[in-house]
C-alpha cells in the first residue's frame, strides 16, 4: 500500500510540476495581455484593471491604452502589417496542409501497406531529409529563390514549408497505416467494394484519426515556422505572422501589448491541441519500422 | 430454413456446385497451385488442409477473386467467374485474426456489406439481428472493435460474413490465433451454424485435428497439388500416400519398411522393429494388392495395444519415453533400435525402461507400395472403422 501511494505522489507530483512549467509562462502572458500594468515579476495573480485594450490596439493605428497612472501608451501603428501577417500565415498554413495531405496520403499508404523493393531505404531518405537544420539549406534556397523570383513570395514559402511537412507527415502516417489491421482492404473487396472504394471508403476511413492528427501537425508546422519566413520574406507583403511578431517586439517596447500579439499566434495552436489531443496521442509515433 | 447435412447426404450432382477446373497460379515462376481440379458441393463444409506453402491459401484467394488464375476456369454453379472481380462474386471471407474495420463499431461492421449492396434499411436490421443472435453477439452491437476479445472479434467477423448470405463462405485459418479452448468452442459454433444455415463453406487450415473435427469433406493439398479429397474418416483411415498418412492423424503414424513372409502357414511382416504376426484376412488382402513382397506398413499409434506378456504376433520393445494425456498415454518405444509409437488407454502405466509387447489392430492398418509410396491396400473397409476401435479397448 505504502509503495503504491508513494508512486502515485511521484507521478502526480511530476505531472503537476510539468503542468506548472508549461502553463505558467502562458498564464503570465494572458495575465499581462489583459492588463496595462501587470509585468513579469510583479507577482500579481490577476490583473487589477482587466481590459482588452491591448488586443484592440495592435489592430488599430489610432487607438491607445491608458495606463493606471493616467498616462497614454504610444500608438502601435503596425495594424496593417499584423493583419497582413495573420492572413498570410493562414493562407500559407491552409495551402501547405492541403498539399501535404494530397501528396503524403498516397505515399504513406504505399510505404505503410504495400510490399515493394527498397521501401526502407526510401523511408529513411525521406526522414533524413527532414533532419537537416533549416539554417543549413537557407543559403542555397535563398539564392535559388532569387533567380526563380520566388524570394519574398507566398508561393516560395509554401514550397519550402512542404519540404518540412511532407517528410514528417509521410513518416508518421505510414506508421499509422501499417498499424491498421492487415487485410482490411481485402475484406472490403469481399464486402462488395471496388478497388477504389476499398481504399477510399475503408482504408482512408480507418486512417481518419491519424490523417486528421497529422493534418493538424502540418498546419502547426507551417503556422509556427520562423527561420525561413524571416530570411525569405523580410519586409514584404508575403511575410507571415511569426516574423511580423518579431518585428513588433523590437518596434514596440510595451510588454503587455506584445503579450497580446504573441497570444494571437498561439490561438490556433491551442485550439488544435485541444481538438486533436486524443488523436495525436493515438498516433504510432515510433514509425513503421 | 433448416437443412440437415450428414456426411453421406452431400449432393455431388447439384447444379450449384462450385468447381475449380485445371486451375494454375504461379508466383515468381513457381507453381503455387498446379492443375487444381476441385469441386465444392452445394451446402457442404469443405476443409482444405495442407502445410504452409501447400497452395491452400492461394486456392482460397483464387476462389475469392483476390488472386486471378493464370490458367484454368472457376465456376460458381453454371457461371464462369474466372475473371470476375471479388466484389461481384457474392462471397464472404473471414481472415485469420483481427480483420474488422477498426473505425466502425460492431453494428456498422456487420452492416457494411449490406450498405454497399444498398439493401433496404429494414431488411438490413432484420438480417443483422438474425446473425447477431446466431453468434451470440447481440449485446455487443454498439461496442467498438478494440473493446472486444479475440474470440468476440471472430464471432463478429463470422456474423459479418453470414449477413450477406454469400454463395460461398471462405474462412482462412479463422481460429489459428485463438487459444486452444476458444478455438474448439468457435469450431463447434461454426459446425452448428453450418447445419442451421446450409451455407457452402470452404475452410482453410494447416491443423489436421481441426480438419477432421469439422469437415464434411477434406481436400488435402501439398506442394500446390491436390493429394486426396474425401470425408474425414476416409482421409484418416485410407490415406492415399504415406505423406497424407503422416500429415493427418492426432499422432504421427508408424511407417515401417518391411517384407511379407509366410511361416508355417501364418503371415508375418518383417520390419526393422521386429516380426509382427498379421491377421490372415489383412495379410491376404495386402499380399494380393502389392506388386512385390516389399511393403511400407502404416500403423497408427492409437490402433495398437501394449501388454506385459508376449504373444505369437507381438513384437517386444522397450519404453524410451512417455507422455500421459490423462485419458491416454503416448509411449515412444525402441524395438530392436527402431522407433515405434503407441497410444493406449491409461489402464496400466509402464515406466521408462520397461519391456513391453506391441500388438497391432490389423484391421486398421494401411499398406503402401515402397516404390511409389502410394496406397496399395487399406484394411479398413469403405464404410469406416469396424465396431472395435482398438484391441486394447475391446
Q: For all residues of chain A together, what is the average pLDDT?
A: 84
- The answer, yes or no, to whether residue B141 has pLDDT greater than 50, is yes
| A contact residues 202-231, partner B, Cβ 8 Å cutoff | 202, 205-206, 208-209
Write down the pTM of the prediction: 0.79
Per DSSP, A136 falls in state H
Q: Give CATH superfamily name and number for B251-386.
A: Nucleic acid-binding proteins (2.40.50.140)
Q: Could you state, in order of their start, the residue ranges of all structural domains in chain B?
A: 18-242, 251-386
Q: How far is CA B229 from CA B38, B203, B258, in A?
A: 8, 14, 28
CB B39 within 8 A of CB B19: yes
The distance between the two most distant Cα atoms of chain B, rounded to a whole number of Å, is 81
Phi then psi for residue B237, to 5 deg, are -90, -25
Mean pLDDT of all residues in A92-117? 94
- Where helices occur in B10-105 by DSSP H, the ranges are 56-64
pLDDT tens digits for range B233-268: 999 999 999 999 999 999 999 999 999 999 988 999
pLDDT at residue A46, as a whole number = 76
Which residues of chain B lie closer than 8 angstroms to A176, CB-CB? none
Give the CATH number of domain B18-242: 3.40.50.300
Q: Are B319 and B354 in contact (CB under 8 A)?
A: yes
Looking at per-residue pLDDT, the higher value among A66 and B392 belongs to: A66
Q: What is the ipTM of this complex?
A: 0.82
Residue B387 above 50 pLDDT?
A: no
Query: Of A187, A197, A205, which has the smallest distance from its Cβ to B103's Cβ?
Result: A205
- By residue count, chain A amounts to 289
Helix (H) and strand (E) counts in chain A: 12, 0
User: CA-CA distance, B90 to B81, in Å (whole number)?
Assistant: 11
Identify the three-state secondary structure at position B47.
Answer: strand
Interface of A with B in 184-203 (CB under 8 A): 184, 186-195, 197, 202
A184 contacts in chain B (CB < 8 Å): 99-102
Distance CA A115, CA A182 (A): 12
> Which of A75-79, B324-328, B346-350 is the least confident region?
A75-79
Who's near A186: CB < 8 A, 6+ residues apart?
A198, B64, B66, B86, B93, B95, B99
Cβ–Cβ gap B100/A186 under 8 Å:
no
User: Using CA atoms, how far apart are residues A133 and A163, in angstroms rounded to an integer?
Assistant: 12
Q: Give helix A255-282 / helix A204-224 axis angle, nearest 10°.
A: 160
pLDDT tens, residue by residue, A203-257: 999 998 889 989 999 999 999 999 889 888 887 888 999 998 888 888 776 788 8
Q: Over the stretch A137-196, which tens digit does the pLDDT of each residue have?
A: 888 888 899 999 888 899 999 999 999 999 999 999 999 899 888 899 999 999 999 988
Location of C-alpha cell 456489406 = B113
Convert the pLDDT of each residue in B30-52 to its tens digit.
Answer: 899 999 999 999 999 999 999 99
Percent of chain A clearing pLDDT 90 (strictly above): 32
- Among A182, A183, A190, A213, which would you mutate to test the B interface (most chain B Cβ atoms within 10 Å of its Cβ)? A190
pLDDT the model gives residue A115:
87
Residue A283: per-residue pLDDT:
61
Burial class (CB in 10 A: 0-12, 13-18, 19+), A130: middle
Predicted confidence band of residue B29 (pLDDT cuts 50, 70, 90): confident
Cell numbers at residue A150, please?
A: 520566388
Report whether B49 contacts B219 (CB < 8 A).
Answer: yes
Amino acid at each position: 500500500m505504502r509503495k503504491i501511494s508513494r508512486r502515485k505522489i511521484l507521478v502526480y507530483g511530476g505531472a503537476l510540476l510539468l503542468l506548472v512549467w508549461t502553463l505558467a509562462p502562458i498564464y503570465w502572458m494572458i495575465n499581462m495581455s489583459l492588463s496595462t500594468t501587470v509585468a513579469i515579476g510583479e507577482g500579481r495573480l490577476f490583473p487589477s484593471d482587466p481590459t482588452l485594450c491591448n488586443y484592440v490596439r495592435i489592430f488599430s493605428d489610432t487607438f491607445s491604452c491608458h495606463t493606471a497612472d493616467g498616462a497614454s501608451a504610444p500608438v502601435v501603428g503596425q495594424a496593417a502589417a499584423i493583419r497582413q501577417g495573420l492572413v498570410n500565415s493562414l493562407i500559407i498554413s491552409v495551402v501547405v496542409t492541403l498539399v501535404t495531405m494530397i501528396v503524403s496520403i498516397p505515399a504513406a499508404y504505399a510505404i505503410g501497406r504495400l510490399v515493394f523493393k527498397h521501401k526502407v531505404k526510401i523511408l529513411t531518405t525521406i526522414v533524413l531529409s527532414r533532419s537537416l537544420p533549416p539554417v543549413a539549406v537557407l543559403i542555397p534556397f535563398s539564392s535559388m529563390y532569387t533567380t526563380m523570383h520566388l524570394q519574398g513570395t507566398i508561393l516560395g514559402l509554401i514550397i519550402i514549408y512542404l519540404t518540412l511537412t511532407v517528410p514528417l507527415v509521410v513518416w508518421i502516417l505510414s506508421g499509422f497505416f501499417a498499424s491498421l489491421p492487415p487485410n482490411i482492404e481485402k475484406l472490403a473487396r469481399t464486402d462488395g467494394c471496388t478497388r477504389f472504394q476499398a481504399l477510399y471508403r475503408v482504408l482512408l476511413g480507418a486512417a481518419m484519426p491519424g490523417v486528421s492528427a497529422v493534418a493538424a501537425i502540418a498546419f502547426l508546422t507551417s503556422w509556427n515556422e520562423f527561420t525561413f519566413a524571416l530570411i525569405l520574406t523580410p519586409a514584404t507583403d508575403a511575410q507571415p505572422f511569426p516574423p511580423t511578431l518579431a518585428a513588433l517586439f523590437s518596434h514596440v517596447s510595451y510588454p503587455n501589448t506584445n503579450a497580446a500579439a504573441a497570444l494571437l499566434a498561439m490561438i490556433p495552436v491551442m485550439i488544435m491541441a485541444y481538438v486533436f489531443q486524443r488523436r495525436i496521442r493515438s498516433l504510432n509515433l515510433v514509425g513503421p519500422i | 430454413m433448416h437443412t440437415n447435412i450428414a456426411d453421406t447426404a452431400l449432393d455431388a450432382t447439384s447444379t450449384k456446385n462450385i468447381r475449380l477446373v485445371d486451375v494454375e497460379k504461379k508466383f515468381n515462376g513457381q507453381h503455387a497451385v498446379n492443375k487444381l481440379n476441385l469441386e465444392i458441393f452445394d451446402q457442404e463444409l469443405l476443409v482444405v488442409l495442407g502445410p504452409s506453402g501447400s497452395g491452400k491459401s492461394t486456392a482460397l484467394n483464387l476462389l475469392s477473386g483476390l488472386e486471378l488464375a493464370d490458367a484454368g476456369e472457376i465456376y460458381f454453379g453454371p457461371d464462369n467467374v474466372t475473371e470476375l472481380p471479388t466484389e461481384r462474386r457474392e462471397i464472404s471471407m473471414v481472415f485469420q485474426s483481427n480483420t474488422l474495420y477498426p473505425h466502425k463499431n460492431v453494428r456498422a461492421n456487420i452492416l457494411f456489406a449490406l450498405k454497399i449492396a444498398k439493401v433496404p434499411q429494414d431488411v438490413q436490421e432484420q438480417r443483422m439481428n438474425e446473425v447477431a443472435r446466431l453468434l451470440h453477439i447481440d449485446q455487443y452491437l454498439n461496442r467498438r472493435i478494440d473493446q472486444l476479445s479475440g474470440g468476440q472479434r471472430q464471432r463478429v467477423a463470422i456474423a459479418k460474413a453470414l449477413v450477406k448470405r454469400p454463395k460461398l463462405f471462405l474462412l482462412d485459418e479463422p481460429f489459428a490465433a485463438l487459444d486452444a479452448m476458444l478455438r474448439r468452442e468457435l469450431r463447434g459454433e461454426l459446425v452448428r451454424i453450418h447445419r442451421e444455415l446450409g451455407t457452402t463453406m470452404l475452410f482453410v487450415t494447416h491443423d489436421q485435428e481441426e480438419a477432421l473435427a469439422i469437415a464434411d469433406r477434406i481436400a488435402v493439398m501439398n506442394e500446390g497439388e491436390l493429394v486426396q479429397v474425401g470425408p474425414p474418416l476416409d482421409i484418416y483411415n485410407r490415406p492415399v500416400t504415406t505423406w497424407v498418412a503422416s500429415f493427418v492423424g492426432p499422432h504421427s503414424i508408424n511407417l515401417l519398411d518391411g517384407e511379407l513372409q509366410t511361416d508355417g502357414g501364418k503371415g508375418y511382416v518383417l520390419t526393422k522393429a521386429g516380426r509382427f504376426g498379421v491377421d490372415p484376412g489383412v495379410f491376404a488382402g495386402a499380399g494380393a494388392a502389392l506388386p512385390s513382397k516389399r511393403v511400407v506398413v502404416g500403423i497408427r499409434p492409437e490402433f495398437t495395444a501394449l501388454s506385459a506378456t508376449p504373444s505369437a504376433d507381438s513384437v517386444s520393445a522397450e519404453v524410451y519415453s512417455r507422455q500421459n494425456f490423462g485419458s491416454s498415454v503416448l509411449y515412444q518405444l525402441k524395438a530392436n533400435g527402431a522407433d515405434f509409437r503407441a497410444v493406449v488407454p491409461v489402464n496400466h502405466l509402464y515406466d521408462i525402461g520397461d519391456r513391453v509387447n506391441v500388438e497391432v489392430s490389423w484391421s486398421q492398418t494401411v499398406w503402401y507400395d515402397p516404390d511409389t509410396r502410394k496406397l496399395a491396400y487399406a484394411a479398413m473397409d469403405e464404410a469406416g472403422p469396424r465396431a472395435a476401435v482398438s484391441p486394447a479397448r475391446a
